[in-house]
Chains A and B, each alone.
Chain A
Amino acid sequence: DAGVIQSPRHEVTEMGQEVTLRCKPISGHDYLFWYRQTMMRGLELLIYFNNNVPIDDSGMPEDRFSAKMPNASFSTLKIQPSEPRDSAVYFCASSPNPAVDTEAFFGQGTRLTVV
């Protein structure tokens, strides 16, 4: 398996624009997580899904952020409108059934810069 695949690797956008980040989890993993990493706050969980259903979105900063998982092999994180304070590295991770193994496998991240 190629691992968790995220795209794009880098994104530079102007304030106010819509940004969509994409993630393909490892096949067979039931859980998908979106994290944001910044120097100030470290690694924050934004939202996670189980079998394509959002379970906990309490980490989503505000209504400008939304995430979807239309099927088991694809998820998106959208920011609309984007703001400079959204600049960060966004990671997607997937995991098998936590009752068996809670290790998470991370993608390489998308570095977002909002100017």
Chain B
Amino acid sequence: GDSVTQMEGPVTLSEEAFLTINCTYTATGYPSLFWYVQYPGEGLQLLLKATKADDKGSNKGFEATYRKETTSFHLEKGSVQVSDSAVYFCALSDRRKGGSEKLVFGKGMKLTVNP
């Protein structure tokens, strides 16, 4: 079945450091790919998404590019802030005809950014 594998961490960075969180997926169809973020005590929120190969999703300085050839959707930010401290989840959904509408999540990676 469909699956997502991502870095699990936890990871601690200093403010203004570069961030990469790796995510790879396995899917038999043509999935849409997502990054969700969970701030302390909150539910998950969509951070960005990409629905087809070579699409780049971006939001709040974060970026991720849908790479079909490497089945990857790595999340990057050039300069992290303390407010980026959260848990980050990579996810996919398979919208092919007859596919499941559910989201499949990775295990999440906790990021702490220190001032």
Of B15-23, B64-72, B74-82, B93-101, the one touching chain A: B93-101
Q: Are B34 and A103 in contact (CB under 8 A)?
A: yes
B89 on the A face (CB < 8 A): yes
Residues of B within 8 A of A31 (CB): 101
Chain A interface helix/strand/loop/mixed: strand
- Closest chain-A Cβ to B40's Cβ sits at a distance in Å of 11
Q: A98 CA to B66 CA in the complex, in Å?
A: 19
Residues of A within 8 A of B44 (CB): 43, 91, 93, 104, 106
Q: What does the 1/0 interface line of A23-46 toward B look like (CB < 8 Å)?
A: 000000001010000000011010
Q: Are B46 and A98 in contact (CB under 8 A)?
A: no
Interface residues of A (CB under 8 A from B): 4, 31, 33, 42-43, 45, 48, 50, 55-56, 91, 93, 95, 98-99, 102-109
Interface residues of B (CB under 8 A from A): 32, 34, 41-46, 49, 89, 93, 95, 100-108
